[in-house]
């Protein structure tokens, strides 16, 4: 029997948790009329390609893009995922950026996210995350938009 290192075990858990979160979110957004890439790679103004857990497009793929990353932790999320997401969104200029955090985040992370125009959704599970996205989805003039 092969022993799995703690680092490898943590990575496998993270990947499983990410799929557990991203697939239902993708299905929810597709049901709302979005074209969804999961995972997504978007080329920035710099020419660098940035990876997001989800990118949702409405209409023309070069416009109306919402990017979503999911961060899972055993404790409160530190500031680093917010800073990492900011570095990506400053280069691609999405219409909206969400960071879904499982289970919760620190006050410093919330302050940075607000400064960087990243909306944090703290949720205990995928159901809460989708409910929070549902609350942020509006219907105006027959068009669907994530606020």
Q: Where are the chain's structural domains?
A: 24-146
Structure confidence at residue 78 (pLDDT): 81
The interaxial angle of helices 107-116 and 80-92, nearest 10 deg, is 10
Question: How confident is the model over 102-117, as a mean pLDDT?
Answer: 91
- CA–CA separation, 125 and 130 (whole Å): 9
Higher pLDDT, 82 or 6: 82
- Report pLDDT digits (tens) over 53-63: 999 987 765 56
- CA–CA separation, 109 and 104 (whole Å): 10
Structure confidence at residue 143 (pLDDT): 43
Structure confidence at residue 60 (pLDDT): 60
Contact present, 21 and 129 (Cβ < 8 Å): yes
Structure confidence at residue 135 (pLDDT): 85
- Report pLDDT digits (tens) over 128-141: 888 888 888 654 43
- CA–CA separation, 78 and 132 (whole Å): 21
SS3 state of residue 101: strand
Higher pLDDT, 65 or 141: 65
CATH architecture group of domain 24-146: 3-Layer(aba) Sandwich (3.40)
pLDDT band at 17 (very low <50, low <70, confident <90, very high): low
Structure confidence at residue 50 (pLDDT): 95
> For a pLDDT cut of 70, what percent of the chain falls above it?
76
What tokens were used for 141? 């003039």
- CA–CA separation, 105 and 99 (whole Å): 10
């Amino acid at each position: 029997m092969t022993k799995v290192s703690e680092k490898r075990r943590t990575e496998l858990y993270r990947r499983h948790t990410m799929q557990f979160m991203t697939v239902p979110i993708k299905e929810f957004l597709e049901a709302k009329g979005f074209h969804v890439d999961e995972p997504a790679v978007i080329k920035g103004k710099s020419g660098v390609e940035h990876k997001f857990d989800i990118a949702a497009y409405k209409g023309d793929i070069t416009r109306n893009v919402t990017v979503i990353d999911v961060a899972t932790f055993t404790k409160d999320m530190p500031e680093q995922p917010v800073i990492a997401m900011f570095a990506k969104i400053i280069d691609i200029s999405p219409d909206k950026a969400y960071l879904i955090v499982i289970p919760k985040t620190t006050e410093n992370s919330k302050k940075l996210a607000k400064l960087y125009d990243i909306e944090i959704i703290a949720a205990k599970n995928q159901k809460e995350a989708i409910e929070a996205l549902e609350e942020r989805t509006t219907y105006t003039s027959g068009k669907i938009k994530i606020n």
